[in-house]
C-alpha cells in the first residue's frame, strides 16, 4: 500500500505536514529479511499509478525480488496519524483496490515450490474472497512441496469483524509450521484466553512465537519454551515493530540459527524499528544490530 502519515501528534485535521511512503506487513517483512542478508520475494497486485510505481521501485531497490502484477484498479492506501503520544490511528482504503483483486493464479507455482519459507499474514484473506483463495491455495501448494509455511495472524479489526475472522485465521494457523501473533490475536483464534502458546501449538504449528511488544516475547519451538524481555529503547514510532520482529526471526531461520538466537535477533530488530519513524524505512542491517546491542554512547564517531 501507499502510506500517508501525518507529522506531529494530534487530530488529523490539524496536521501541518504529511509524509508519503509505502507500508504493508508483507513488504515490511520482505525488506527486513533482505536487509539482514536473506533472499526475499514479494508477490502482489499494484495499480497503474504513481503509488504502484513507488512500491515496485522501493522493493526492487531493497533487493527484494518483486513479482508486481499491474492491475487497472488503484493501489491501496492507508492514512496514519498519532492522536496522542501513545495512540496511533490507521485508516485503510483498500476495498476494490489492486491488492484486493489478488487471485490464486497470480502466485507462480514454481516460485512457491522452490521457496525455503512461504510467509503470509491474516491481512490478505480479509481483503476479498479471491485474495483469501490465493492465500490458502499458496499455502497448500507450499505444504505439498515440503516448504515451511509461516503465518503472522495480524488481525485488523478495520478490515473484518472478529466473528468473520476467527474461523478463517484458525484454519490458516492450523496449516502453518511457524506462527506469530500477539496475545489478543491468539485469543481470537483460540476462542478463549488460555495458555496461548500451547493453544496455538495444539492446532499444528511446531513453532509458536507470541509477540507482546514492550513485554518481550515467548516461544514454544519444537517443544522447548523460551521467554525474552524487550530491549530498553526510546520509542519514536511503534508501527511496524511486529513485522520487524518477524523479519528478524525468519532471516535467522533462513541462516540456520538456533531458536534462541532467532528470538534474540527478532527482539533486537523489533526494538531497532521502533526507534525510527516509518514502516520499513528504518529497518536495520546486521551492522546496525551490532551497534544497537553494543552502544555505550549516543554518537557514533
Instruction: Kindly give the pairing relationship between strand 207-211 and strand 77-84.
Output: unpaired
* Contacts with 118 (C-beta within 8 Å, 6 or more apart), sequence order: 112, 138, 139, 142, 147, 148, 149, 150
**3-state DSSP assignment of residue 149:** strand
For 172-191, give one letter per residue: b (16+ CB within 10 A) or e: bbebbbbbbbbbebbbbbbe
Q: Judge contact between 111 and 42, C-beta under 8 A.
A: no
Sign of CA dihedral 26, 29, 31, 37: negative
DSSP code of residue 106? G
- 243: annotated active-site residue: yes
Straight-line distance from the first to the last Cα atom of the chain, in angstroms, rounded to the nearest whole number = 37
Helix 129-144 to helix 162-174 angle, to the nearest 10 degrees? 10
State the cell numbers at 270.
Answer: 523489533
Q: Judge contact between 52 and 27, C-beta under 8 A.
A: no
Catalytic residue among 237, 243, 252, 279: 243
Catalytic residues: 243
Amino acid at each position: 500500500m501507499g502510506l500517508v502519515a501525518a507529522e506531529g501528534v494530534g487530530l488529523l485535521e490539524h496536521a501541518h505536514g504529511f509524509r508519503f511512503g509505502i507500508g504493508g506487513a508483507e513488504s515490511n517483512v520482505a525488506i527486513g529479511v533482505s536487509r539482514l542478508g536473506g533472499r526475499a520475494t514479494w508477490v502482489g497486485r499494484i495499480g497503474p499509478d504513481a503509488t504502484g510505481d513507488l512500491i515496485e521501485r522501493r522493493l526492487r531497490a531493497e533487493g527484494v525480488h518483486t513479482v508486481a502484477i499491474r492491475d487497472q484498479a488503484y493501489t491501496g492506501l492507508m492514512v496514519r496519524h498519532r492522536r496522542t503520544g501513545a495512540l496511533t490511528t490507521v485508516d485503510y482504503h483498500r476495498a476494490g483496490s489492486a491488492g484486493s483483486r489478488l487471485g490464486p493464479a497470480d502466485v507462480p507455482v514454481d516460485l512457491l515450490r522452490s521457496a525455503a519459507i512461504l510467509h503470509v499474514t491474516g491481512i490478505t484473506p480479509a481483503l476479498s474472497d479471491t485474495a483469501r483463495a490465493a492465500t490458502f491455495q499458496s499455502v497448500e501448494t507450499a505444504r505439498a512441496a515440503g516448504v515451511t509455511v509461516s503465518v503472522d495472524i495480524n488481525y485488523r479489526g478495520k478490515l473484518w469483524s472478529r466473528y468473520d475472522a476467527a474461523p478463517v485465521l484458525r484454519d490458516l494457523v492450523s496449516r502453518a509450521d511457524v506462527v506469530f501473533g500477539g496475545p489478543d490475536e491468539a485469543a481470537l483464534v483460540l476462542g478463549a484466553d488460555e495458555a496461548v502458546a500451547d493453544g496455538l501449538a495444539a492446532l499444528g504449528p511446531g513453532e509458536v512465537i507470541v509477540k507482546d511488544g514492550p513485554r518481550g516475547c515467548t516461544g514454544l519451538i519444537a517443544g522447548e519454551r523460551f521467554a525474552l524481555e524487550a530491549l530498553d529503547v526510546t520509542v519514536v514510532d511503534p508501527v511496524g515493530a511486529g513485522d520487524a520482529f518477524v523479519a528478524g526471526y525468519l532471516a535467522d531461520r533462513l541462516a540456520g540459527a538456533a531458536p534462541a538466537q532467532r528470538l534474540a535477533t527478532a527482539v533486537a530488530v523489533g526494538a531497532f524499528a521502533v526507534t525510527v519513524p516509518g514502516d520499513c524505512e528504518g529497518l536495520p542491517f546486521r551492522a546496525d544490530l551490532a551497534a544497537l546491542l553494543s552502544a555505550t554512547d549516543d554518537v557514533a564517531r
